[in-house]
């Protein structure tokens, strides 16, 4: 594992790390994900929390997290009354988080939590938003997506670059780091509720002058993706047009 050379404990007294994990019907892996993230953070930070946002799951996801939260004072559960989309789910986690550094991570840990060290180094350099990327040539793709998902991803990124924001190779990786005040400003202006919220957040960040760094990460494809290849792809393309229209209408300006 690439994180093995990281010191066993780093007392970053100026850092309170919040890891926000959106979860929808994740009963089979959420306990393992929480344990992995907890084990990593406990060895490296004096102050941290894990915030799991249950997006109206119909399985036992919320019950499992609630039971674990009774045993861990650094684990918090936020419940969405109904399935409302990843964008709103992450937004709820951002506003519930207490840390000065907020890490957004998918429940499947396709990007291992150890990769946060790469993002943190750029946070320390002064960047406001640091995003993990599978699109940079230095990225370590351990298990790739099926070819059709990879092709659709490339087509979507082409539309992102043509219609909204041009300089990023991968807007959709679910592993991102924010300064808390920056995250709250960005998400307070976010209007996209579903998967295209990542593009909107980066667009708003650029528009408002925040510094963004794209960082190659290690990534292991999960076969249980919640993205429906045709339905969600169409919705995401429509959302790109909505983002551009919102910008013209001044929704992202003061």
For residue 42, the domain's CATH number is: 3.90.550.10
Across the range 190-196, mean pLDDT stands at 91
What is the distance between the alpha carbons of residues 3 and 37, in angstroms, rounded to a whole number? Answer: 13
Judge residue 161's burial from the number of C-beta atoms within 10 Å of its C-beta, 0-12 exposed, 13-18 middle, 19 or more buried: middle
Q: What is the mean pLDDT of residues 75-88?
A: 95
What mean pLDDT comes out for the span 92-111?
A: 97
Judge whether 254 lies within some domain.
no
Domain assignment present for 149: yes
Backbone angles phi, psi at 164, to 5 degrees: -125, -65
pLDDT of 112 reads: 97
Decide if 65 contacts 108 (C-beta within 8 A): no
Question: Which whole number is the average pLDDT over 107-131?
Answer: 97
> Roughly how many angstroms between the first and final C-alpha of the chain, as a whole number?
45
pLDDT score of 5 more than 80: no
Could you give phi then psi for residue 25, rounded to 5 degrees? 50, 60
pLDDT band at residue 23, thresholds of 50, 70 and 90?
very high
Q: Residue 66: inside a domain, yes or no?
A: yes
Any domain includes 253: no
- Mean pLDDT on 89-112: 97
Average pLDDT, the chain: 90
Which pLDDT score, from 0 to 100, does residue 79 have? 97
Q: Which residue has the higher pLDDT, 154 or 92?
A: 92
Mean pLDDT of 50-76: 97
In this structure, is residue 180 part of a structural domain? yes
Asked if pLDDT for residue 51 goes beyond 90, the answer is: yes
Is 181 a member of any domain? yes
* Residues 140 and 219 sit within 8 Å (Cβ to Cβ): yes
Is residue 188 pLDDT above 50, yes or no?
yes
Report the pLDDT averaged over residues 190-215. Answer: 95
- State which residues form the domain around 136: 2-248
Report the distance separating Cα 26 and Cα 89, nearest Å.
14
Average pLDDT over residues 20-35: 97
In a domain, 198, yes or no: yes
* Mean pLDDT across 77-95: 96
**Residue 2 banded pLDDT, cuts 50, 70, 90:** very low
Average pLDDT over residues 83-95: 96
Is the residue at 148 inside a domain? yes
More confident residue, 165 or 212: 212
| pTM score, whole prediction | 0.88
Residue 153 has pLDDT above 50, yes or no: yes
pLDDT of residue 166: 86
Residues 6+ apart with CB under 8 A from 63: none
Rounded to the nearest angstrom, the gap between the alpha carbon of residue 35 and the centroid of all alpha carbons in its chain is 18
pLDDT range class, residue 229, cuts 50, 70, 90:
low
Q: Checking phi first, is residue 247 left (phi over 0); if not, alpha (psi -120 to 50) or beta?
A: alpha
- Structurally, the chain folds into a number of domains equal to 1
pLDDT band at 252 (very low <50, low <70, confident <90, very high): confident
């Amino acid at each position: 594992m690439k994180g093995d050379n990281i010191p066993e404990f780093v007392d970053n007294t100026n850092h309170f790390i919040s890891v926000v994990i959106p979860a929808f019907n994740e009963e089979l892996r959420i306990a393992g994900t929480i344990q992995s993230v907890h084990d990593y953070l406990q060895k490296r930070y004096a102050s941290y929390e894990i915030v799991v946002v249950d997006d109206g799951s119909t399985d036992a996801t919320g019950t499992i997290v609630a039971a674990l939260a009774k045993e861990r004072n650094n684990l918090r559960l936020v419940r969405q009354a109904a399935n409302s989309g990843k964008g709103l789910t992450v937004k709820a986690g951002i506003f519930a988080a207490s840390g000065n550094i907020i890490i957004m991570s998918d429940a499947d840990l396709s990007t291992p939590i150890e990769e946060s060290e790469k993002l943190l180094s750029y946070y320390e350099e002064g960047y406001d938003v640091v995003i993990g990327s599978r699109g940079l040539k230095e990225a370590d793709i351990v298990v790739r997506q099926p070819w059709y998902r990879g092709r659709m991803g490339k087509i979507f990124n082409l539309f992102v670059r043509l219609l909204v924001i041009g300089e990023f190779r991968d807007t959709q990786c679910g592993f991102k780091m924010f300064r808390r005040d920056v995250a709250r400003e960005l998400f307070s202006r976010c209007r996209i509720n579903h998967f295209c919220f990542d593009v909107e957040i980066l667009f708003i960040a650029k528009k408002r002058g925040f510094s963004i760094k794209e960082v190659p990460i290690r990534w292991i494809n999960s076969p249980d993706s919640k993205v429906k290849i045709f339905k969600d792809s169409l919705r995401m393309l429509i959302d790109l047009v909505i983002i551009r229209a919102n910008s013209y209408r001044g929704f992202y300006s003061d």
